[in-house]
Chain A
Amino acid sequence: MEEGIVLTMRGICKSFPGVKALSNVDFTLRRGEIHALMGENGAGKSTLIKVLTGVYAKDAGEIRIEGIEDAISIRSPQEAQNYGISTVYQEITLCPNLTVAENMFIGRTPGRSVDWKGMEKKAGALLDSLGIPARPKQQLGSCSLAVQQMVAIARAVDTECKVLILDEPTSSLDDKEVAMLFRLMRELKARGVGIVFVTHFLEQVYEVSDRITVLRNGELVGEYEVEKLPQVELVAKMIGKELEGLSDIKRRSAVAGGAEDVVYEAEMLSSTECRPFDFHIGKGEVNGFTGLLGSGRSESVRAIFGADPVTGGRVKVDGKSVKVQKPYDAMRQGIGYLPEDRKRDGIIADLSVRENIILAYQVMKGMGHPLSRAQAEAFADEYIQALDIKTASTDTPLGSLSGGNQQKVILARWLLTHPKYLILDEPTRGIDVGTKTEIQRLVLKLAEEGMSVTFISSEIEEMLRTCSRLIVMRDRNIVGELTGNELTQERVMHTIAGGGKEDE
């Protein structure tokens, strides 16, 4: 193995039924470097991490680690740890009810009795040397999330770790906490640990990493040194279009709808999950929130629908002031919302296709007015035909349908309520190409019929094809609004990447 390299992965392939998650991916990690692993949804980042930590078995390829002659095979997280590969996940995998010291040593100390004094002393020394502001005797749950994360890192580092994987460690931290974490990462770097840093925040990548590996659609795009890759190019590589010759892409010809006919308007709307923002949409307009994952695009539309507790702001629907505190309020105002995480927030897996389709309509009709079986059956059949949903019968449990068909059922659920304004958060995620185009075509058709639609997608192309106005978000703030001629891939990427940053 080459000097200074702690880990190499060569030609890694991994397939799941129906999907090729990784094909022929290489990855190299040097000693004492912070290496960012970047890519949009479904690019294969998490699959690669899981192969490396032994959660998934690879189909092909080899993994080598410093100090061992042969290629190694990692069959479990425990084995990965034995090889010196430690992972700190986004959700903290420590026990909040135990003390800091215990969390650092439980499950890996030999012997049957617990030596509290010794353990706390060792933990204290380690925390001090890494500059982590936690005390060994403190209950972990009483620490801030950032400190908890750092304790997890300290635990990982103490297990003779050569490779430290940080899976989106900053996604729930504030600026000050991020700074604290970065200080720790640099300290570890100085000690010679190789760090794999997975994140969606571009600025953080540029602040702390040395090298970037970009994945897209399960394939390796390339490995770059940070200085040689301007931010806008990175975005292009992640999203997957070279900058040249993009401007001539066919956009929606007519910018539909009179902008003066505002259907929904929000002023300084905020929720527990998102910062205050202004927003409006006209009749028959299709607009979209864009930005990388974690930029706050989903949180914003959740606030519009009242999905997260609303904390402030004024909302007008059709020019009248209304209160939207919870989803039911929004539904009463004729707003529909297809959630980002279909499995968690959308489908009622054990209920039938029919019940899933009529659910929202039924709720709006009220508890005392159930649809008759025949009516429900008719509605279900109507939308199964209209959206070409492939299901054995209306009685089939929704959970047994394919992802694309599940998504169409959720779409049908909201179309049945005949909303004025429909919010679609990642309707095309994780579904086959055919269905993707169908859904986009449907969005345009609905807009022509006068419905207002907010459309969110990780794929900018899709948004350019459907939206007449794009609201760009970065790091939880709205950073720009693009309309008309500005709607080009270049322009969108520049705005996402942050205006003048490419000159730096």
Chain B
Amino acid sequence: MNNADKTLSVRRREPLTDTQLLLTITICIFVGMYVLAMMIWGGGFKKPQMLFDMLNDNAYLIIISCGLTIVMITGSIDISVGGVTALVAMVGVMILNGNLGLFGGLQAALGLSDQWRIVFAFVMSLLIGLAFGLVQGYLIAHLEIQPFIITLAGMFFARGMITIVSVDPQKAPQSLMDILQTRIEIPWLGSPNKKGVMIPARMEIGVVIALVIVVLVFLLLRKHRLGRSFYAVGGNRQSALMLGVNVRKTRFMAHLLCGFLSGIAGFVFMMHTGAGNATNATAAEMNAIASSIIGGTLLTGGVGNVIGTFFGVLTLSTIKSIVTTSGLRDPWWQSITTGAMLCFFILLQSLVLMRRGKKKSSK
């Protein structure tokens, strides 16, 4: 009754959609937290470089989280992303070193110069990511096997492959790393160091890639038919089918994209660290899931936003910075606060969902 009245009366401002509501909460919490940190601990938090360092360290995580957000919007999950990232980083470093078995020989035969090695490594990154996305997407969308199990196997496979490719940790040649770790300097965001000399803010190329991906994924989700299909499938798979959405293809594309983005993330990770190691990007999948959830992506699908995910990553790393600067230097506090934060957001979402469910059943 009440509802009918409400809808009849014309209001100027639209009430927020679920996606917008959760996004707003996330941004508010992030900004509030950051401002609070600036007021209490000042120092580091006042320097823009703090923010850039967070971005530099987490560029790969932002990219992974974008992929995961897409998958989660369709109501699915992918926990292989961390493994794929680490595998890609390992393969990339080995290509740069020219010692990746068959490819090393291929490179020698082609007589690739340094720059071309980088291109070759990049192409391989994309191919590995796509391969994972392709196989997992097929098994999940077409054979309708539980995503969790398939991507769990994907994670095992990727992590196992790392050590099969190379048992020893690898280090990329310094000459190439100098190219890859080129930093963009932004003088006007600089800050003075202890001696009073202005140090410009530095940003890695990986951050640019990550930001471009955030924008592209945002546009895809907002403006592209496929992007809207992701939401429809996540909202209600049966309804989406009735509305003429190709559910199978949509789910497949989500996983394909996620794999593809993990490939890029691996390359960005390599650019940042220059190291191939079996323990690279450990628990990245869980951090990415946590970032997406904090960013307002609903676990049950259909609601989420990549901008929120971006802030989710920043929120997570801000919490970690706050925990360290506030004197809780013991190593366990970071993940305990992360867990608490996650618990808070999961419960928040559950309550939002329950409230909506109640509204319906009271009809």
* A residues lining the B interface (CB < 8 Å): 77-78, 81, 92-99, 102-103, 106-109, 111-114, 116, 133-135, 137-139, 141-147, 172, 174, 176-177, 180, 272
Contact B18 A107 (CB under 8 A): no
B7 interface residue per 8 A CB criterion: yes
8 Å CB contacts to A: which residues of B228-256? 228-229, 231-232, 234-236, 238-240, 242-245
Partner of A145, one of B229, B236, B363: B363
B302 interface residue per 8 A CB criterion: yes
What are 12 inter-chain pairs, A to B, with CB distance below 8 A? Answer: A78-B244, A94-B236, A95-B240, A107-B229, A107-B243, A107-B245, A137-B14, A141-B18, A143-B3, A143-B7, A144-B363, A176-B4
- Given contacts A102-B228, A106-B232, A142-B15, whether A95 and B243 have CB atoms under 8 Å apart is yes
B102 interface residue per 8 A CB criterion: no
Please give, as numbers and ranges, the residues of chain A lying within 8 Å of B245 by CB-CB distance. Answer: 106-107
Within the assembled complex, what's the spacing in Å between the Cα atoms of A145 and B361?
Answer: 10
Contact B4 A106 (CB under 8 A): no
- Given contacts A141-B356, A177-B4, whether A95 and B223 have CB atoms under 8 Å apart is no
Contact A114 B363 (CB under 8 A): no
Please give, as numbers and ranges, the residues of chain B lying within 8 Å of A77 by CB-CB distance. Answer: 242
Within the assembled complex, what's the spacing in Å between the Cα atoms of A112 and B17?
Answer: 24
Within the assembled complex, what's the spacing in Å between the Cα atoms of A112 and B228?
Answer: 10
8 Å CB contacts to A: which residues of B131-148? none
B195 interface residue per 8 A CB criterion: no
Within the assembled complex, what's the spacing in Å between the Cα atoms of A95 and B236?
Answer: 6
Contact B239 A97 (CB under 8 A): no
Contact B7 A97 (CB under 8 A): no
How far does the Cβ of A207 sit from chain B's closest Cβ, in whole Å?
19
8 Å CB contacts to A: which residues of B1-49? 1, 3-4, 7-8, 14-15, 17-19
Partner of A97, one of B4, B229, B238, B302: B302
Within the assembled complex, what's the spacing in Å between the Cα atoms of A282 and B15?
Answer: 54
How far does the Cβ of A127 sit from chain B's closest Cβ, in whole Å?
11
Please report the total number of B residues contacting A with Cβ < 8 Å.
37
Contact B231 A95 (CB under 8 A): yes
Please give, as numbers and ranges, the residues of chain A lying within 8 Å of B18 by CB-CB distance. Answer: 97, 139, 141
Contact A180 B4 (CB under 8 A): yes
B303 interface residue per 8 A CB criterion: yes
How far does the Cβ of A120 sit from chain B's closest Cβ, in whole Å?
11
Within the assembled complex, what's the spacing in Å between the Cα atoms of A98 and B231?
Answer: 7
Within the assembled complex, what's the spacing in Å between the Cα atoms of A135 and B238?
Answer: 24
Write the chain A residue with the least CB distance to B73. A97
How far does the Cβ of B223 sit from chain A's closest Cβ, in whole Å?
5
Contact B15 A138 (CB under 8 A): yes
Instruction: Flag B238-282 by CB within 8 Å of A: 1 or 0 each.
Output: 111011110000000000000000000000000000000000000
- Given contacts A93-B242, A97-B18, A112-B224, whether A107 and B232 have CB atoms under 8 Å apart is yes
B3, B19, B226, most chain A CB atoms within 10 A = B3
B194 interface residue per 8 A CB criterion: no
Within the assembled complex, what's the spacing in Å between the Cα atoms of A443 and B93?
Answer: 79
Known: A81-B244, A95-B302, A135-B14. 9 other contacts (CB 8 A): A93-B238, A95-B236, A97-B231, A97-B235, A98-B232, A107-B243, A114-B225, A147-B3, A147-B4
Top 8 closest pairs, chain A to chain B, by CB: A107-B244, A95-B235, A144-B3, A97-B302, A97-B235, A139-B17, A93-B242, A107-B243
Please give, as numbers and ranges, the residues of chain B lying within 8 Å of A103 by CB-CB distance. Answer: 243
Write the chain B residue with the least CB distance to A94. B239
B329 interface residue per 8 A CB criterion: no
Within the assembled complex, what's the spacing in Å between the Cα atoms of A139 and B302?
Answer: 12
- Given contacts A98-B232, A180-B4, whether A93 and B243 have CB atoms under 8 Å apart is yes
Please give, as numbers and ranges, the residues of chain B lying within 8 Å of A92 by CB-CB distance. Answer: 239
How far does the Cβ of A393 sit from chain B's closest Cβ, in whole Å?
32
Partner of B229, one of A106, A138, A143: A106
Within the assembled complex, what's the spacing in Å between the Cα atoms of A107 and B245?
Answer: 5
Contact B228 A114 (CB under 8 A): yes
- Given contacts A95-B302, A97-B303, A137-B14, whether A174 and B244 have CB atoms under 8 Å apart is no
Please give, as numbers and ranges, the residues of chain B lying within 8 Å of A94 by CB-CB distance. Answer: 236, 239, 243
Within the assembled complex, what's the spacing in Å between the Cα atoms of A134 and B9?
Answer: 10
Within the assembled complex, what's the spacing in Å between the Cα atoms of A180 and B363?
Answer: 16
Within the assembled complex, what's the spacing in Å between the Cα atoms of A30 and B14?
Answer: 41
Partner of B1, one of A137, A139, A143, A174: A174
Contact A96 B236 (CB under 8 A): yes
A94, A95, A180, most chain B CB atoms within 10 A = A95
B228, B234, B360, most chain A CB atoms within 10 A = B228
How far does the Cβ of B25 sit from chain A's closest Cβ, in whole Å?
16
